[in-house]
Amino acid sequence: MKTNSLDGLSAFGSALTGAERLLRARPDDAEATIRRIARVMLGADYVQDIPDLHSTCQAVLDSPSSELSQWVVALKSIVNRHCSTLPAERVVILIVDDDPVMAQLLSLRLRSPTREILVATTAAQALELVERRLISLVLLDLGLPDRDGRDVLAEIRLKTASLAIPILILSATEDDHVKMECYALGADAYFEKPIKIELLLTVVSVKLQRIAEIGRKLRHDPLTGALNRLSFTELFTHYAALTARTKGDLSLAMLDLDHFKSVNDTYGHAKGDEVLCSTSFVLERSLRKSDSFGRWGGEEFVVLLPGSDVAGATRALQNALDALRLVEFTAAERKFNVSFSAGIAPVASGDTLAEAAAAADAKLYTAKAQGRNCIVS
């Protein structure tokens, strides 16, 4: 099951609700819509993994018009049930609106176990939250008490780390010039108040699904699944700023697989790729959920450990090294094991990634000089 299927399914559920309401007033339109949704759902790869959903979609397609409404009810029920049980990545939605009625309504309808809802009532609060939290989507009112919402939109888009966040404008302003300006500034959609809530919910789900899909492709190294350097840099920037503010600990580790060149030379590049993938898998399993790692290049990995001093980071890396040593590889009827050397450095307030990486790299050099297969801090 793909982890981004929940929002896709949720969007289908919202669209079905809208179509169901239309069944009495405009039955032909509604019927065409419902069958179209069922057909598209049948083509979604994650639906293949859910037998009752698959069979009910098929029943919707096969049913005569007179039985369609009962099949839609059944399909909606199955969709809702799976929406509450599917695994999904946690997302953070920021509502920026000084109207408590609107904020309450949106919070009520957007909430789900996989969504954290934040509310900012001023531009200053909104920008502070965007800086401090990893926001997945923003709902932005234009009429804020301290600044025009368009200023907030422009400022969010100027930050590299938030370039891709979907921003949906909610405003009572009908002026096309305002709408055009918002789109030019980087808005993804514009909803006039009073908001048609089901439409908004569908757009939110679709945007979250798309951003998750695109994000996964853009942010990860295609071979190992580790973060690529660009996304690791964004993550480092975020945690370095947060740690500087909270005066907490942050450590950075550089890892290099020992004798990797000889693995490639002896067993071939396909086996070398397998070793890289296994290392990534071991890091994923061994590190804490709050730690992150990326592929720095070649056989080098970089690990960021928020909330860990050097001693804590050393323990975490030692766990990973112990686990990797146990992995047995087989090639040409020979078995072999691999290890890594690592250098760890604390991230000081104001350090750039290049500075922190250079400090950790110096320690890594020492680890290599000390005979490899060890961690130096």
Partner 1 sequence: MSENAAKDQLPGGEVLVDFEWLRECTDNDTDAIKSLLDLYFDRTAKLLGELDVAIASGRAEEVRRLGHACSGTSGTCGMVKLAPLFKELERIGATGTVDGAAAIATAVRSEFSQAKSFADGTVLG
Residues annotated as part of the active site? 299
Phi, psi of 212 (to 5 degrees): -65, -45
Among 302, 326, 324, 298, which residue's Cα sits nearest to residue 313? 302
Quick one: which segment of 97-105, 121-129, 148-156, 160-168 binds partner 1 (CB under 8 A)? 97-105
**Residues counted in the chain:** 377
Question: Does residue 241 touch partner 1 according to CB under 8 A?
Answer: no
CA distances to 50, 74, 114 from 85, in Å: 12, 17, 10
Residue 250, burial from CB neighbour count under 10 angstroms (0-12, 13-18, 19+): buried
Quick one: which segment of 4-12, 45-53, 129-137, 169-177 binds partner 1 (CB under 8 A)? 169-177
Q: Which of residues 7-26 bind partner 1 (CB under 8 A)?
A: 21
**101 CA to centre of own chain:** 29
> Least distance to partner 1 from the beta carbon of 193, Å?
4
> Least distance to partner 1 from the beta carbon of 22, Å?
13
Q: Which of residues 105-134 bind partner 1 (CB under 8 A)?
A: 105, 108-109
Question: Does residue 143 touch partner 1 according to CB under 8 A?
Answer: yes
Q: Which two tokens stand for residue 267?
A: 């067993």
Q: Which of residues 9 and 376 has its CB atom nearest to partner 1 in the complex?
A: 9
CA distances to 10, 39, 62, 106 from 194, in Å: 22, 32, 38, 12
Q: Which of residues 121 and 233 has its CB atom nearest to partner 1 in the complex?
A: 121
d(CA 80, CA 345): 48
Whose structure tokens read 């007179």? 66
* Residue spans of alpha helices (H) in the chain: 5-25, 27-43, 51-62, 65-83, 100-110, 123-132, 149-158, 176-185, 197-219, 229-246, 260-267, 269-286, 310-326, 353-369
3-class secondary structure, 341: strand
> Least distance to partner 1 from the beta carbon of 121, Å?
12
Q: Which two tokens stand for residue 159?
A: 């930050």
Q: Which two tokens stand for residue 88?
A: 């999904």
Q: Which of residues 105 and 124 has its CB atom nearest to partner 1 in the complex?
A: 105
Q: Which of residues 100 and 225 has its CB atom nearest to partner 1 in the complex?
A: 100
Whose structure tokens read 């500034």? 185
Confirm if 96 and 138 have CB atoms less than 8 A apart.
yes
Q: Please say whether the dihedral angle defined by the alpha carbons of residues 127, 132, 138 and 144, taken in this order, is positive or negative.
A: negative
> Least distance to partner 1 from the beta carbon of 169, Å?
13
> Least distance to partner 1 from the beta carbon of 28, Å?
22
Considering only 25, 64, 101, 326, the residue that binds partner 1 (CB under 8 A) is: 101
d(CA 84, CA 93): 18
> In the stretch 170-199, what mask flags binding to partner 1 with x, by CB under 8 A?
-xxx-------------------xxx-xx-
> Least distance to partner 1 from the beta carbon of 286, Å?
43
Q: Which of residues 17 and 319 has its CB atom nearest to partner 1 in the complex?
A: 17
Q: What is the DSSP letter of 47?
A: G
3-class secondary structure, 350: coil
Count of residues touching partner 1 (by CB under 8 A): 19
Question: Does residue 73 touch partner 1 according to CB under 8 A?
Answer: no
> Least distance to partner 1 from the beta carbon of 196, Å?
8
Quick one: which segment of 83-91, 99-107, 156-164, 216-224 binds partner 1 (CB under 8 A)? 99-107
Q: Which of residues 198 and 355 has its CB atom nearest to partner 1 in the complex?
A: 198
Confirm if 79 and 52 have CB atoms less than 8 A apart.
no
Q: Which of residues 73 and 311 has its CB atom nearest to partner 1 in the complex?
A: 73
Considering only 100, 113, 225, 248, the residue that binds partner 1 (CB under 8 A) is: 100
Q: Which of residues 164 and 172 has its CB atom nearest to partner 1 in the complex?
A: 172
Quick one: which segment of 30-38, 98-106, 257-265, 270-278 binds partner 1 (CB under 8 A)? 98-106
> Least distance to partner 1 from the beta carbon of 142, Å?
10
Interface residues toward partner 1, by CB under 8 A: 21, 98-102, 104-105, 108-109, 143, 171-173, 193-195, 197-198
